[in-house]
Amino acid sequence: MFSDARFRAMGSDVHLVVHGGPALVDLAVTRLAALEAAWSRFRPDSEISRLNAGAGRWLEVSAPTALLLHRAIEGWRLTGGAYDPLLLHALQAAGYDRSFELLDPALHAVPPARWWNRPLPPEIEVDGSAARIPAGAGFDPGGIGKGLAADLVTADLMAAGAVGVCLSVGGDVRVRGTAPGGTPWTVAVEHPLAAAPVTLVGLWDGAVATSSVLRRVWQAGGRPRHHIIDPDTGVPSHTTADLASVIAGDGWLAEVLTKPVLLRPADRRFDNVPDGCAALAVAADGTVAVTPSIGDFTGGALVPTVLRSVERTHPGGAR
């Protein structure tokens, strides 16, 4: 029996397909709500809000929050700093100072800038159940929180008896086990400018995360803004791609790896993609660049009209 449910959590649309009964859907809803309560930067009583309010001081945190902080540190290291977990004040200065659905996309004003010279590497410290961030810093769980939440919830569902599960949290997709029919799960990577997807990814156990400068867009100070902050400048980035998708073993990892794909120059955008993962980038004109490893997950099947564009722009297909 497969259950299919759609609901809201973590400020995002959630889509769950699970091989199991309705009780597993209830478990997922409850678990995501608990993680949102702990991690939301928009809830003053959340653990993340308390960490930010007490920046510079040690505070008690739950095991999931300690894990989130560990993964954030690891994400910074793996991406060479392209993923920076301490960009909260930069996001707020850009106008993203409340839950996105509450932003007025046309009229929102820019609050006073609070950008700071962050330490490198980010001095997030975790000692057992205690953690602290540097004084003056602000931690934003953002995408890594959604990716890690998908990792944790799908693991819980499998432990509770699910045979297979596919969970999308704000477009970050985590799968485990078997899809209907006993096949791998198929995840479509949507093209921002075309009706057809860029490719279809087949996974038994893994994640696909997508980041885009075309999502979560608003106007601030008369200028268009988006949520992809350049760690080197502290302002919304001028990216070499409009969209980046990464395939990895875990949701949190796929999410952080999208940042260098978006932020690095075109000839370096895939430098941080490790073995066992794959990535693609879609430019503003719709052309697509891919890692050679993309074929391990797609059978080399890209949408033909897109593939011709890739080959014309980047001889040999991938960079």
Question: Has residue 20 got a pLDDT over 70?
Answer: yes
Instruction: Name the nearest CA neighbour of 216 among 270, 285, 143, 150.
Output: 143
* Helix pair 22-39, 63-78: axis angle to 10 deg: 70
Q: Per residue in 29-69, pLDDT tens?
A: 999 999 999 999 889 999 999 999 999 999 999 999 999 99
Q: What does DSSP assign to residue 302?
A: B
| pLDDT for 276 | 96
Which residues pair with residue 3 across a beta bridge? 18
Identify the structural domains of the chain with CATH numbers, from first to last.
Answer: 2-313 (3.10.520.10)
CA distances from 219 to 48, 104, 236 (A): 27, 8, 12
* Helix pair 63-78, 142-159: axis angle to 10 deg: 120
Peptide bond into 260 cis (omega under 30): no
CA distances from 195 to 200, 235, 249, 279, 292 (A): 14, 31, 28, 20, 24
Q: How far apart are the first and last CA of the chain?
A: 43
Question: Has residue 112 got a pLDDT over 50?
Answer: no
Distance CA 93, CA 78 (A): 27
Share of the chain above pLDDT 90, in %: 58
Mean pLDDT score of the chain: 83
The number of residues in the chain equals: 319
| pLDDT for 154 | 99
| pLDDT for 236 | 64
